[in-house]
Chains A and B, each alone.
Chain A
Amino acid sequence: QVQLLQSGTEVKRPGASVRVSCKTSGYTFINFGLNWVRQAPEQGLEWVGWISPYTGDTDYAQSVQGRVTLTTDTATSTAYMDLRSLRSDDTALYYCARTNGNDHAFDVWGQGTMVTVSS
């Protein structure tokens, strides 16, 4: 079955960087886009960005533009989110989520990775 398995909890100081990984299985990796969505504690969902594993095209939310880079490794079917210059308001649960083709809905989600930014 289709699975997205994310890396573990991260605790970082303000100004540091973090890398979160999302290892996929059960489908052809390059055929589906991948999104990153975050959820601050007790808050709603915020889209962070999207990447096409086929073309490498990316699109980012304004709130993280210039600080985030999404990449993929097609050899291992893994997606990565690098977030730099971390701030306290980056503290959130970060999810990767697959796009279901042209409908652009998020049909499969990872389990989430908690990133805490604290001095």
Chain B
Amino acid sequence: DIQMTQSPSSLSAFVGDRVTITCRASQRISNYLNWYQQKPGRAPTLLIYRASRLHSGVASRFSGSGSGTHFTLTISSLQPEDFATYYCHQSYTTPRTFGQGTKVEI
């Protein structure tokens, strides 16, 4: 199975900060890397797919980059509604696997 490792596991930030979350795959996955946001008590929502493509309706302050084994999610200017947990997810092969999550908090 492909292991997905996110860093950091949690971070504290202020509104307006630039935030970067890293995800590493245990083997090459091309650009089959997706990012989700999950707020407490809610289902995850898709932010970015294929490493860098913004899902419909997602704010442009979110961006993704990377290929192979190293990927990043960047929030250019953190907003109050962005405090949540973020997961990376590889869709290169099955079993599909997720990172352990990064909690973004104040």
Residue ranges of A at the interface with B (Cβ–Cβ < 8 Å): 35, 44-47, 50, 59, 61-62, 95, 97, 100, 103-107, 109-112
Minimal Cβ-Cβ distance residue in B for A98: B46
Top 10 nearest A-B pairs (CB, nearest first) are A104-B91, A105-B49, A109-B43, A47-B96, A105-B34, A45-B98, A44-B101, A44-B100, A59-B94, A61-B95
Minimal Cβ-Cβ distance residue in A for B49: A105
- Identify 28 residue pairs between A and B in the complex whose beta-carbon atoms are under 8 Å apart, listed by A's number: A44-B100, A45-B36, A45-B44, A45-B87, A45-B89, A45-B98, A46-B98, A47-B95, A47-B98, A61-B95, A95-B43, A95-B44, A100-B46, A100-B49, A103-B91, A105-B34, A105-B49, A105-B50, A105-B55, A105-B89, A106-B34, A106-B36, A106-B44, A107-B46, A107-B49, A109-B43, A110-B43, A112-B43
The answer to whether B101 touches A105, judged by C-beta atoms less than 8 angstroms apart, is: no
Within 8 A of A (CB), among B41-78: 43-46, 49-50, 53, 55
The answer to whether B55 touches A107, judged by C-beta atoms less than 8 angstroms apart, is: yes
